[in-house]
Amino acid sequence: MELTIKKEFKDLIPRLSNEEYELLTKSILSDGCRESILLWNGVIVDGHNRYEICTTNNVEFNTSDIDFPDDDAAKIWIIDNQMGRRNITEWVKFELSLKKKDILLKQGREKKKEEGKLYGRGNTKDEKVLSIIDRTFEEETHNTQKIIAEEIGKSTGWVGMAEVVAKKAPEEIKEKLRKNETTVNKVYKEIKKEEKKEEKERIAESAKDLKIKIDFRLGDCESIFDDIPDGSIDCIITDPPYPFEFINTWSKLSKLAKRVLKHNGFCIAYSGQMYLPEVLKRMSEHLDYYWMFNLRHSGNYQLIMGRNIFVSWKPLLIFQNGFKKLESPIEDLVHGTGMSKDHHRWEQAIDELKYLIENFTEPGQSILDPFSGSGTTLIASYKLNRKPIGCELSEIEFNNAKRRIYDDLHI
């Protein structure tokens, strides 16, 4: 018996893996085709794989008829039938649900158009009228994320990420999702990471020739500040990189601070906890330890996988070129104002710096930041009437910081 295959129906059926197809073939050759192939007006709506295996291997099969009012009803039935199968992945369920949503949206639009024609609401061939109809229906079904989430047993947040992946991920990544070889969360993060990278590159390119009225330099702090006179800087406030591959950075910082800081000038540095003993050792090569402040995080805490610890605070290391007691007592707890990573992955919040700047410097004094990143220290220092000086090794980060400084300070 030769049956009709409709491509748009067959395409709604998730493809079997090679292993699944082989197992189904073995089962049919061994036990025969035990399930009937379902037909609607001679067209297969369920059993495409069984039909292919049976016709290829001359195996007899039975058929059963099912009735639908139209193609869309048949498609919705096919989708719902597939959604009930246990072997399909969450991504395949999502793709099926999207296809179902598109069919329902189309039906809804057609219904609205017919209502418009019936009640004399204008010529439905008029593009403006059609636009209003479409917009009205979209507003009524704005909560489709919730509907899809409930249908496939996921959160609306997951569905939101999946919609981004569906629009932007290449086909080979979607195929991995269908096979459960990766996750929506992982692919979404990669997409956003790449988008952020592209945006930073675009901003950096636009700011390449931008001039700002702050002493901000492109280069390595070890040599870029050779022209700064010894003992001329009032304070250093900086945030060096934390990974161990950059551990020598702390020795560079200690040596630079010893040379450029005024006598009894402070060097304040953010630090991670993982390599803190080595950091303290290297900072002490040329400077005197003064104290360690606690920068208390707000919001969600980061999990350090290597120690299985949620980090609720960050060390603020206070070193000095010599020793002189602060004139007024201050608290060693700095209250965080939340995550601030819009411009740099290691960016610190600008409001937290205000506490340090106001307690360790006076208006008109100089503040040096040898690891300027997105320019947060430079911006905060300028806003508080200090004289900022900084440098950044990465050209992309340097130009992004220039753009931020210009847009924020208009200088």
Nearest alpha carbon to residue 239 among 230, 249, 248? 249
- Alpha-carbon span 182 to 172, nearest angstrom: 11
- Alpha-carbon span 264 to 234, nearest angstrom: 9
What is the token pair recorded at 144?
Answer: 């489709």
- Alpha-carbon span 358 to 374, nearest angstrom: 21
**Integer Rg of the chain from CA:** 32
- Alpha-carbon span 268 to 270, nearest angstrom: 7
**Interaxial angle between packed helices 90-118 and 171-178, expressed in degrees from 0 to 180 and rounded to the nearest 10:** 110
> DSSP state, 328?
S
Instruction: List domains and CATH numbers for the chain.
Output: 1-85 (no CATH), 89-206 (no CATH), 215-409 (3.40.50.150)
- Alpha-carbon span 86 to 37, nearest angstrom: 19
Report the amino acid identity of residue 26. Answer: K
Report yes or no: 256 and 221 within 8 Å, Cβ to Cβ.
yes
Map residue 207 onto helix, strand or coil: coil
Scan for tokens 């999502």, then name that residue.
Answer: 94
What is the token pair recorded at 196?
Answer: 């952020």
Partners of 217 in beta bridges:
391
Report yes or no: 182 and 176 within 8 Å, Cβ to Cβ.
yes
Q: What is the pLDDT of residue 46?
A: 93
DSSP calls for 104-132: HHHHHHHHHHHHHHHTT-S-TTSHHHHHH
Map residue 320 onto helix, strand or coil: strand
What is the token pair recorded at 225?
Answer: 């500040």
State residue 293 phi and psi, 5-degree precision: -90, 160
Q: What is the pLDDT of residue 258?
A: 98
Report yes or no: 101 and 73 within 8 Å, Cβ to Cβ.
no
Report the amino acid identity of residue 224. Answer: I
Please count the residues of the chain: 411
Scan for tokens 């069919």, then name that residue.
Answer: 103
225: how many CB neighbours lie within 10 A of its CB?
20
> DSSP state, 301?
P
What is the token pair recorded at 101?
Answer: 């949503």
Report yes or no: 265 and 318 within 8 Å, Cβ to Cβ.
no
Edge-to-edge strand list for the sheet holding 366-369: 215-218, 387-392, 366-369, 233-238, 261-270, 313-320, 288-296, 333-335
Q: What is the pLDDT of residue 108?
A: 73
- Alpha-carbon span 288 to 286, nearest angstrom: 7
Q: What is the pLDDT of residue 151?
A: 84
pLDDT tens sequence for the chain (411 residues):
678 999 999 988 888 888 889 999 999 999 999 999 999 999 999 999 999 999 999 999 999 999 999 999 999 999 988 887 767 889 999 999 888 888 887 777 777 666 665 545 544 455 555 555 455 545 444 467 788 888 888 898 999 999 999 999 999 999 999 988 999 999 999 999 999 889 888 888 888 888 899 999 999 999 999 999 999 999 999 999 999 999 999 999 999 999 999 999 999 999 999 999 999 999 999 999 999 999 998 777 888 888 899 989 999 999 999 999 999 999 999 988 755 545 444 445 677 899 999 999 999 999 999 999 999 999 999 999 999 999 999 999 999 999 999 999 888
- Alpha-carbon span 226 to 247, nearest angstrom: 22
State residue 275 phi and psi, 5-degree precision: -115, 30
